[in-house]
Structure 1
Amino acid sequence: MAAPHGFARLREGTAALPELTFTDAEGKPHGIADFAGRGLVINLWATWCPPCVAEMPALDRLAAMLAAEGVLVLPLSSDRGGAAAVRAFYERTGVRHLGLWLDPRGAAARALGARGLPTTVIVDRAGRERARLEGDAAWDAPEFVAAIRRLTAAAAAPGRA
């Protein structure tokens, strides 16, 4: 079977995650520390970006699949229209499992060194970047789901293999 769209572009490694600042729908600031102990799939996107729009249904399904496992999909929108633009997009496209998170000034995208949209960063439960993919992908494909589970798995207790 052929690899799903985009899987070959997933670059794995381990890197310290920079400080990131973004807001929720009410404008309250958040950072990665707010999600300590959880695996994260950080997706930098915008409603005006065709490849971003194309992958949102798969990210929505991924969020539903992994929520019970302590893995959160964090779609950080760079839309200047803010929460209203994202909320309207979610309603129009049937997105039901993704939270509404905003990066309107692109601070998180700059901190992550994103070269364009969409960019997705997989973060392990210790807050380290484990993988990155630039461009859209079929995030709910079995190969992606398995890789995300592996990269965000809870660490073994010290002294255990």
Structure 2
Amino acid sequence: MPEGAKESQAVDDHEQIRSRSSRRLWLTGGVAVAAAAAGAGVAWWRSQPQAMGPSAEQQLWSQVFETADGKPFAMADWQGKSVLLNFWATWCPPCVKEMPMLSAFAAQQARHGIQVIGLAVDKNEAVLRFLQRQPVQYPVAMAMQGGLGLTRTLGNLQGGLPFTVLFDAKGQVRQRKIGELSGEDLANWSQKS
């Protein structure tokens, strides 16, 4: 084979190898992007409230909790009002971050009929210490470990905190959110209560 033909063949071989490598790289990248998108989709789906258990609302309204200082706190006492129920814990950074906003919302909404209630999935002592440092304008009761089971009944299958549920005056769920609330969430929800 003449020298020029050998060089031309070498260049062609090199181009084919580079082309195959480039296709493999694009294919691998495409598969990786598809897998990442699928994983993100599953994670998003898991972070959304799911279907509630049968008679979940009835179960909630029959609960009697205790305040951090040991007084009874019956959910039935709040029926007939729109209730924004926030499950939280002192060890949960997004829970703690949203509490001043919830407290301001509670003070504003007290005149408009939405009652904010905090249910702490925590230990009494930790909640008492926390509320002494950062008081809130709404009642807080202790849901303890049973609180996570209650959140699952209300559609929070992963048990993530914070978890907030808006009930209308008939005791029916109107809105739910797993994760930190925004001011926009509260503004929208207050119009739907």
Q: Same fold (TM over 0.5)?
A: yes
Q: Which residue does the alignment assign to 1:101?
A: 141
Pairwise CA distance, 1:29: 4.6
Paired residues, what number?
136
Find 1:76's aligned residue among 102, 105, 119.
119
Pairwise CA distance, 1:57: 0.8
Q: Which residue does the alignment assign to 2:72?
A: 28
TM-score for the superposition, normalised by structure 1: 0.72
Q: Which residue does the alignment assign to 1:112?
A: 154
Equivalent residues of 1:16, 1:127 under 8 A apart: no
Q: In the alignment, residue 102 of structure 2 is paired with which amino acid?
A: L
Pairwise CA distance, 1:30: 1.5
Q: Which residue does the alignment assign to 2:167?
A: 123
Residue segments in structure 1 that go unaligned for 5+ positions in a row: 1-8, 153-161
Structure 1 127/24 Cα, relative in aligned 2: closer, same or farther at 3 Å?
A: same
Q: Which residue does the alignment assign to 2:92?
A: 49
Q: CA RMSD in A?
A: 2.6
Q: In the alignment, residue 102 of structure 1 is paired with which amino acid?
A: M
Counterpart CA distance in 2 for 1:43 and 1:105 is 15
Larger Rg: 2
Pairwise CA distance, 1:110: 3.8
Structure 1 117/109 Cα, relative in aligned 2: closer, same or farther at 3 Å?
A: same
Q: In the alignment, residue 130 of structure 1 is paired with which amino acid?
A: R
Structure 1 118/145 Cα, relative in aligned 2: closer, same or farther at 3 Å?
A: closer
Displaced runs of 4 or more, over 4 A: none
Q: Which has the higher helix share?
A: 2
TM-score for the superposition, normalised by structure 2: 0.62
Structure 1 109/10 Cα, relative in aligned 2: closer, same or farther at 3 Å?
A: closer
Identity of aligned residues (%): 36
Q: Which residue does the alignment assign to 1:58?
A: 101
Question: Bigger relative contact order, structure 1 or 2, given CA contacts below 8 A and separation 6+?
Answer: 1
Counterpart CA distance in 2 for 1:121 and 1:10 is 12
